[in-house]
Structure 1
Amino acid sequence: MPKKKPKQSSGETPPKKHKFFLNPYTDCAFTKCPKCETKTKVRKFNLVIHIKPQQLFLLNKQCKYCANCDLIIAKKQEIESLMAFGFNSTNPQIVGNDYLVMGTIDRKDWQANNQDSVPPSEIIKRMFIFQDEWNFKVIPAGWYPSEST
């Protein structure tokens, strides 16, 4: 008789271990996954971004997503412009500071933060930290000289 998987208790969510790629290329949209070459889909993710020195920013953003690799691809240029827009009037001194996209948060937690501010310590407890951050180098198509040794 095959073993049955244990049922999760209500309210318990399985850990989300996405991989992440912050796309620095303005001319490359990654319609195919750079790792496995399958078509990427467009999905909305609630990203948790830490801006130095001590600011958390929650962003509900459309990103490219490869289900095979569990890879989220977000455009750096779009994230930076949305952060600048969001903080230009409320906290302009942090615009342009270093930042780190740390992980994702459930939609219900993102909505709760929008309705009444959830303390940063609680957001960090509820956050799903990325399993890994990947980097890809785009090599433009064309003819290249063969490497001779």
Structure 2
Amino acid sequence: MKKKSSNQLKTNKLKKKYKFFLNPYSDCAFTKCPKCETKTKVRKFVLVIHMEPQQVLLLNKQCKYCPNCELIIAKKQEIEALMVVGFGQENPEIMGNNYLVMGTIERQDWKQGNQGSLSNREIIERMYIFKDQWDFEVIPAGWYPNDELPEKKK
């Protein structure tokens, strides 16, 4: 029997849940799922955000959610504004650094994290990483000549 390395064990332990889309469009609310076109719901999720260097932020945020596709849609502008509030007073020097929305965490873990009883490592161990991160391009509504019709993905 082969012995697994510690890196292999760590990646096998990570639980996967949901798909994620970071919405860069300030004028698009995605009231319908961009994939299946059913109406999206508004749900609160605790997003786990990693910001360089080695900072983890737990953000309890309302997002659009498609239960059919298990897709969470979060607005980039709103997340960045909340990050300024979360990190702005404690670590203003890291504002503007690269960040990644890594996954979600259970509400009881979020409460423990807010009380400071969870380390960054424990948060990472308890979180659900996203199954996939999607990207969508918005095609503006309007009239197009037949030879310039934008392709609709199915």
Gaps of 5+ in 2: 1-14, 149-154
Secondary structure of residue in 2 paired with 1:147: helix
Q: Is the CA contact 1:84–1:96 (under 8 Å) kept in the aligned structure 2?
A: no
For 1:53-64, list aligned pairs within 5 A.
Answer: 53-64=53-64
Using the TM superposition, name which of 32-41 and 111-120 deviates more: 111-120
CA distance in 1, matches of 2:144, 2:115: 55
Equivalent position of 2:5 in the other structure:
none
For 1:125-144, list aligned pairs within 5 A.
Answer: 125-144=125-144
Deviation, structure 1 residue 117: 3.5
Q: Is the CA contact 2:46–2:61 (under 8 Å) kept in the aligned structure 1?
A: yes
Normalised TM-score (structure 2): 0.84
Using the TM superposition, name which of 17-26 and 110-119 deviates more: 110-119
Secondary structure of residue in 2 paired with 1:42: strand
Deviation string 1:19-66 (CA, Å, 9 cap, x unpaired) is 000000000000000000000000000000000121001000000000
Q: How many residues align?
A: 134
CA distance in 2, matches of 1:45, 1:116: 19
CA distance in 1, matches of 2:34, 2:52: 30
Query: Is residue 39 of structure 1 aligned with residue 32 of structure 2?
Result: no
The amino acid of 1:68's aligned partner reads N
Equivalent position of 1:18 in the other structure:
18
CA distance in 2, matches of 1:133, 1:16: 12
Q: Is the CA contact 1:18–1:72 (under 8 Å) kept in the aligned structure 2?
A: yes
Equivalent position of 1:11 in the other structure:
none
The amino acid of 1:98's aligned partner reads N
Gaps of 5+ in 1: 1-14
Q: Is the CA contact 1:46–1:60 (under 8 Å) kept in the aligned structure 2?
A: yes
Q: Higher helix fraction: Structure 1 or Structure 2?
A: 2
Equivalent position of 2:75 in the other structure:
75
CA RMSD of aligned residues (A): 1.1
Equivalent position of 1:6 in the other structure:
none
The amino acid of 1:143's aligned partner reads W
